[in-house]
Copies of this chain bind each other. A is one copy, B any other.
Amino acid sequence: MSEAVRRTFPATAESLPGVRAFLRERAAGSGLTEATADDLLLAASEACANAVLHSGSDEFEVVWRDGPSAIEVEVRDRGTFRRRVRVASVEGPGGFGIPLMTALADRVEISEGTPADPGTRVRLTKRRSDAVRAPYE
């Protein structure tokens, strides 16, 4: 991985369009197929939405890393990971963010901030050549 490009955003919902503009701009210059870029954009957008909704941080950072065989997007905040599982029967539909990241990226890594060691880091990797998309069944 080379060529890391970083951008910091305020942790508000209004930042998300700007995050996507940033990611679209990077993707355009990266030679990704549109489908691959779309998957990465959605996965990364979910990670950023989580930083906004759950981290309690004032800001979050997005890092784009362009590699020969894969693209990595990292989203970092300074908060504590909220350890819970959403159950639809109690809370209504939701809890789709991390499952979407997992379904869309080829590799997902979540390092969770704790009270003693704050800062959640989500790394999403997409291979350049995943011509074959496993279908939904």
- Does B112 contact A83, Cβ atoms closer than 8 Å? no
- Does B88 contact A88, Cβ atoms closer than 8 Å? yes
The proximity string for A residues 114-137 relative to B, scoring 1 for CB distances below 8 Å and 0 otherwise, is 111000000000010011111011
A134-B83 contact in complex given A88-B93, A89-B88, A95-B99, C-beta closer than 8 Å: yes
- Does B85 contact A99, Cβ atoms closer than 8 Å? yes
Binds B, one of A3-11, A16-24, A29-37, A101-109: A101-109
Distance A87 CA – B89 CA, assembled complex (angstroms): 11
Q: For the complex, is A98 an interface residue (Cβ under 8 Å from B)?
A: yes
A137-B89 contact in complex given A99-B99, A107-B109, C-beta closer than 8 Å: no
Residues of B within 8 Å of A93, CB to CB, are 87-89
Residues of B within 8 Å of A98, CB to CB, are 98-99, 102
- Nearest residue (CB) in B for A129 is B116
- Does B114 contact A83, Cβ atoms closer than 8 Å? no
Q: Quick one: which of A58-111 are within 8 Å of B by CB?
A: 80-89, 93, 95-96, 98-100, 102-111
Residues of B within 8 Å of A86, CB to CB, are 99
